[in-house]
């Protein structure tokens, strides 16, 4: 959960419980999830998100409205929210005599209000949203973003759905349209008809998403892109249980670090990888992955995502051999190279030129707007 959203959700639910409105932990979680999904652009829209997810008894609506107005309807200087002052029909009812919760208003999806943070006329900003950050930063190259701006994109990146193509499993499930006969179930049903198999039970193979394996270059030339894409890979780890490795001069498995919030996960991943921002040995790292993990079955039938600009200090021929070996066991190889976004780009560098023939798709993934192309390449059959 985003730190600001967690703070606001805790304050609102705590105030409701203090006022006698029963709000459980599950309701608070639903409120946070609904806020991320709906991305409310005003206090009025946020009111309905909170009302639908937090108010279970309509008899407590008056108390709920008063508490919400105390938390959100006024700014730090007691100025009403502009939408409420105009009588916004989608906002909460006006409540008179409600004390102001200083430092809370207008922070549902952004940074806390402070001196000079309002508009020129003294009114507080509208509720910042993940959509606003995505619109403002979506067209900028990841290398141009500061650490604070990258942090703003975390919530927007959580809205991406990382998926891989399905594959048939070894397990079966009951299905009326299955092509195989479930002999055990058929014989069990035949006991009802004197041993005659009148009712044939059928089964079909279960379908599961293919494993996603990510090899992310964290060398000096890839550092700004690696930090941004690792945030998205945190979402992939949560959604698809992906296996994530980083490499520069050595290969490091960072999957165990990607189990907490993104900011904590990135810190732990950096601690696990001592070669962060060093040189790059792509061929040797992919070869180590194939020997230690790929042969154990991790790469067999999987979608492999390589995030690198292709600058390899090793022998390009080694990279070509290792990529060809990986291609023989993987279902699909997608290479994310931020340099391909440059006009007139050609794969002339030794590393990327050697790896190019083994790739099923090459995408840029250099900014937020370009991640849709990456997600489409991962989903493709």
Q: What is the pLDDT of residues 248-278, one digit of tens each?
A: 888 988 888 777 666 666 677 667 776 666 6
- Which one, of 245, 225, 258, lies nearest residue 305 by Cα? 245
Q: Rounded to whole angstroms, how far apart are CA atoms 183 and 245?
A: 44
Q: Rounded to whole angstroms, how far apart are CA atoms 38 and 43?
A: 13
Residue 119's pLDDT is what?
40
Topology annotation, domain 212-379: Rossmann fold (3.40.50)
Q: Is 172 helix (H, G, I), strand (E, B) or coil?
A: strand
Band of residue 120 on the pLDDT scale cut at 50, 70, 90: very low
Q: Which residue has tokens 């079966």?
A: 172
Percent of the chain with pLDDT over 90: 14
**pLDDT at 338 exceeding the cut of 50:** yes
Taking the alpha carbons at both ends of the chain, their separation in whole angstroms is 32
Contact of 241 with 270, CB cutoff 8 Å: no
Q: Rounded to whole angstroms, how far apart are CA atoms 67 and 298?
A: 52
Domain boundaries, the chain: 3-128, 168-209, 212-379
Q: At what angle do helices 147-158 and 262-272 cross, to 10 degrees?
A: 120
The larger pLDDT score, comparing residue 76 to residue 48, is at 48
């Amino acid at each position: 959960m985003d730190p600001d959203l967690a703070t606001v959700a805790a304050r609102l639910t705590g105030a409701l419980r203090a006022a006698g409105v029963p709000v459980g932990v599950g309701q608070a979680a639903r409120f946070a999830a609904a806020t991320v999904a709906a991305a409310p652009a005003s206090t009025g829209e946020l009111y309905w998100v909170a009302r639908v997810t937090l108010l279970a008894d309509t008899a407590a609506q008056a108390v709920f409205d008063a508490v919400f107005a105390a938390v959100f309807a006024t700014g730090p200087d007691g100025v009403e929210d502009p939408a409420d002052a105009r009588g916004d029909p989608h906002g909460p009812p006006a409540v008179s005599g409600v004390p102001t919760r200083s430092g809370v208003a207008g922070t549902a999806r952004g940074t806390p209000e402070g001196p000079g943070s309002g508009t020129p006329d003294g009114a507080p900003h509208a509720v910042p949203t993940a959509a606003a950050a995505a619109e403002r930063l979506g067209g900028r190259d990841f290398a141009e973003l500061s650490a604070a701006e990258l942090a703003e994109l975390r919530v927007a990146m959580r809205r991406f759905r990382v998926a891989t193509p399905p594959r048939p499993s070894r397990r079966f499930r009951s299905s009326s349209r299955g092509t195989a006969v479930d002999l055990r179930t058929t014989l069990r049903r035949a006991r009802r008809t004197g041993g005659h198999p009148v009712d044939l039970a059928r089964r079909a193979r279960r379908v599961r998403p293919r494993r996603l394996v990510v090899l992310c270059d964290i060398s000096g030339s890839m550092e700004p892109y690696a930090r941004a894409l690792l945030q998205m890979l945190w979402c992939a780890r949560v959604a698809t249980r992906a296996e994530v490795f980083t490499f520069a001069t050595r290969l490091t498995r960072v999957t165990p670090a990607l189990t907490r919030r993104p900011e904590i996960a990135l810190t732990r991943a950096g601690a696990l990888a001592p070669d962060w921002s060093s040189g790059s040995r792509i061929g040797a790292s992919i070869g180590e992955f194939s020997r230690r993990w790929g042969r154990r079955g991790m790469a067999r039938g999987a979608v492999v995502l390589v995030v690198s600009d292709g600058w390899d200090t090793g022998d390009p021929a080694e990279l070509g051999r290792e990529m060809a070996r990986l291609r023989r066991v993987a279902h699909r190889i997608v290479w994310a190279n931020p340099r391909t976004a440059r006009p007139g780009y050609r794969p002339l560098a030794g590393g990327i030129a050697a790896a190019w023939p083994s790739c099923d798709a090459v995408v840029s993934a250099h900014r937020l707007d370009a991640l849709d192309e990456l997600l489409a390449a991962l989903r493709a059959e």
